[in-house]
Structures are given as C-alpha cells and as structure tokens.
Amino acid sequence: MKRFVTLLMVAVLVLVASACGGGGDQPEKINGMGPADIPLKYVNALIQRDDKTLTDLIAADTSYLLKPENPPQHPNYKVTTYDLIQWKFDDETYYYLMEYMNPARNNILDREDFKIIKTKEGWKKDDFGDTPDFDAIVSKLNKSKKVLKELNEK
C-alpha cells in the first residue's frame, strides 16, 4: 500500500511538472513583441510604404534604400487575411512564411519569407527582401514547423 501511494504521488508530480512546463516552448517577448509578431508588422509596413516602420523592423543597415523621414504613402492598406508558418532554428532565430491577400494589389495572394533574429533592440527581420536559401533551410527544420494562422481563420 505504501509503495502504491508513493508511486501515485510521483505520477502526480510528473503530471504537474509537465503541465507547468508546457509554456517553455514560447519565444521570449522583447518590448512586448515576439518573433511571430514581426511578419505581419513588416508586411503591413511594406504595402503601406512605411519606411520608418520597416527601418525599425530590419536589423541590417537600410539607409541606402529606405527613407524613414518620409510618411507612409498608403496608410489605409492593412493585411487581414494571411497564413503564417513558423520554423524554429534556435532560441534566437526563427523562420516564417507568410502568404497573404495583398490589398495593394487587388487582393492577389502574395508571399513573403522571413529570417527573424533576436537583437539587443528586440526581434527583427535580418535584412530587406527575400531570405537567401529559405526553402532549403526550412526543409531541414520540418520537425519544428508550426502553423500559427491559416488563411481562412478570422
């Protein structure tokens, strides 16, 4: 009987420990934003032609390309319908694929890929434009693939 009670207590402790540890899989938020928040903010800034927001979201130097002093050219465009898929490389690097209905192009389906890195200032897209070898990299990370939002979700 004593052995049964001890075994039961150990089983309960294991269950409690595993239930409490479930959130450890979530990336750290910095300044209120996690890596999964960057793709939507980036795409909205891209279609709005909001160079200041793009500059804030990109880790690389974009001064040769973007003019943060210019106001957004299309502030009313906003993406509401999109897919977002995440692959974890490590605790400081995530890859994302976002397919979205682009309001700036008559709601055609567009695609943007991302390498999001952790910096001192927060999570940022590594550079402007496409991620080199994105498809080859994420094909090797299939075990960490996670669909965060589907196109038909509200």
Count of structural domains, the chain: 1
Alpha-carbon distances, residue 115 vs 33, 84, 85, 91, 123 (angstroms): 16, 13, 12, 13, 10
Q: Give the span between the Cα atoms of 61 and 49, in whole angstroms.
A: 17
- Expressed as residue numbers, the domain containing 76 is 35-149
pLDDT in tens, 5-36: 454 454 444 443 434 444 456 788 888 899 99
Residue 61 lies in a domain: yes
Pairing between β-strand 146-149 and β-strand 82-90 as defined by DSSP bridges: antiparallel
Residue 21 lies in a domain: no
Residue 12 lies in a domain: no
pLDDT in tens, 123-137: 999 999 999 999 999
CATH number at residue 105: 3.10.450
Burial (CB count within 10 angstroms: exposed 0-12, middle 13-18, buried 19+), residue 52:
middle
